[in-house]
Every structure is written in C-alpha cells, then in structure tokens.
Structure 1
C-alpha cells in the first residue's frame, strides 16, 4: 500500500502534536501530503436552547478559533518537514464521523491521530473520538497513545 495522503486529526493536545510530527515523517518518506483537520466543538455553560444567540455565537467563535490554532500547528510542523499540508476546520458535535468523512472526501490512505483517553463526558456517552473513528472508518487508522496513560503489561514466567 502506498500512502500518499494522510489525514491528521488534531485537538491540539500534546499527543496530537506528536502524532502530527510522526505523520509528517511518514508523509515525507513516502512523498505524500497531509490533510489536517480539527473539529470545533462549542462548549456551552447552558443548554444551547437556553443560551442567548450572542452566547451561542461566542461559543462557536471560540471553538472555531481553537480549531484554527490546532490545524495551523500541524501546518507549521508539515512545512518544517517539507510536506504539503491542507488545513480544514469542521464544526460538529461528534468529531469522529466528521474526521472519517473528511478523510474519505480527500481520498486519504491513512488517518493518523493521537489518543489521550476519553474525557468524563466521553466515558458516559459516546466513547473517545479515536474509538469513534476506529469504529466507522474503512480507511486504516493509526493511533498514537499518550505514553503517560499506558500501563506496562504483566509478564509471568511461563517456564516456572
């Protein structure tokens, strides 16, 4: 399989930045390009229906600004690595399907993303974004785990 287009999903976290760095190395070695996507998820202090139009617009603007910063970071990493990069910002309440849709639309050969564990909200509702992407993507997904959140396997001495 030749990897020419890599979709890098980013939320701006440290592990997402490390995933972008690794994706750029992979793209550079294969002569590919990066499609960086960040899905803006507005955070509301009240239920959106109870919030004023101004509060809703402010929350959306803040989320879009953060998403722009996230993809701009990936673009800087790609530029430093000599890899072409297109940046996209999406607005959705559920990032997983939007990431997969973007990778499909841009004919990506691989989705590369970081995993830092589900938030408390994710645990109680839909699971992590990485789990969503893995569950609904026909495109191969490479997930970089946060090394601080891994546990060392326990090995027993089989010969004993």
Structure 2
C-alpha cells in the first residue's frame, strides 16, 4: 500500500505525540503528506447560584477560546514534527462534542490512506477495548487505522511460552 496522505489525530498527550512521530515516519515512506486533526471539545458547567445571563455568556466564550488555543497548540506540535522530517502538513481543528466522527470526516475529506492515533490502553473495567474515541474510529472507519498504545499500559499476555529444556 502506497501512502499518499496520513491522517494523524492528536489530543496533545505524550502518547499522541509518539503516534504523530510514527505517522510522520510512515508518511515519509510514501508521498510525504499528512493532515493532523485535533477536535475542540468545550466543556460547560454552571456553578450553583451563578448569574443566569451575563456570566454564562462570558464563561462560554472563555471556554471556546480555551479549547481553540489547546487544539491549535496540539496541531502545531504535529506540524513541527512534520516540518523537521520534511513532510507536508495540513491541519484541521473542528469544534464538536464527539471527536470520533470529526476525525473520520477530516480523514475522508482530505483523501487519507491511513489514520494514526494513540490510544490509552484498556482500563481495569474493560481490558479488551481501546479508548472510546479510538474504538469509535476503528469501528466506523473505511480507512485503515493504526492505533499506538503505551507499552506500559498494555496488559500482560495471557499465554507465556515455556522455556526450552
């Protein structure tokens, strides 16, 4: 498979940066083009006793500005990794409450051949599945997906080979 464009999804975590480094190296082996996507997810809460109209509007505006700054920083990090490797980089920072569908939309709109993203391994409650965003992308993508996990978070294997006698 020749890679013309790799989509790298990032949330700014250390694991996402490691996945970006891998995605950039894969892109270098092909046409040397990536698109990086970081989805802005604002989180709103209204404290008890808050002024109904005035403070909510300014709090919402501050939250939008906060998430926009964060996603711009995330894609800027991936862009620096790409630039250092001589890989062309486009970026997208959509606003959505659910990042999975936006990652797929961006990858499809840019004609990507592969989606690369980090995933925090399964938690104690569910050892079989990746994180919810990664799981959504993996389950719903028509584009191949490469999920990279932190080996320190991997569950030990259920089977261990016996030493030869």
Task: Report TM bin, short chain.
Answer: 0.7 to 0.9
1:112 paired to 2:116 = yes
The CA deviation at 1:156 is 4.8
1:128 maps to: 132
3-state SS of 2:11 partner: coil
> Runs of 5+ in structure 1 lacking a partner?
120-126
> Aligned pair in 2 of structure 1 residues 103, 57: CA closer, same or farther (>3 Å)?
same
3-state SS of 1:30 partner: coil
2:38 maps to: 38
> Runs of 5+ in structure 2 lacking a partner?
124-130
- Alpha-carbon distance between aligned partners in 1 of 2:80 and 2:24, rounded to the nearest angstrom: 10
Cα offsets for 1:110-148 (capped at 9, x unmatched)? 0000001479xxxxxxx6110110111100000001222
Structure index of larger Rg? 2
The CA deviation at 1:32 is 2.5
Equivalences for residues 5-24 of structure 1 within 5 A: 5-24=5-24
More strand by share: 1
1:54 paired to 2:58 = yes
TM-score, normalised by the number of residues in structure 1: 0.86
The CA deviation at 1:31 is 2.5
Q: How many residues are treated as equivalent by the alignment?
A: 151
1:78 maps to: 82
TM-score, normalised by the number of residues in structure 2: 0.84
The CA deviation at 1:15 is 0.7
> Aligned pair in 2 of structure 1 residues 91, 154: CA closer, same or farther (>3 Å)?
same
The CA deviation at 1:2 is 1.2
The CA deviation at 1:154 is 3.0
- Alpha-carbon distance between aligned partners in 1 of 2:161 and 2:26, rounded to the nearest angstrom: 37
Deviating above 4 A after TM superposition, structure 1's stretches of 4 or more consecutive aligned residues are 156-159
2:159 maps to: 155
Contact persistence 1:118–1:128 (CA under 8 A): no
CA RMSD of aligned residues (A): 2.2
1:29 maps to: 29
3-state SS of 2:2 partner: coil
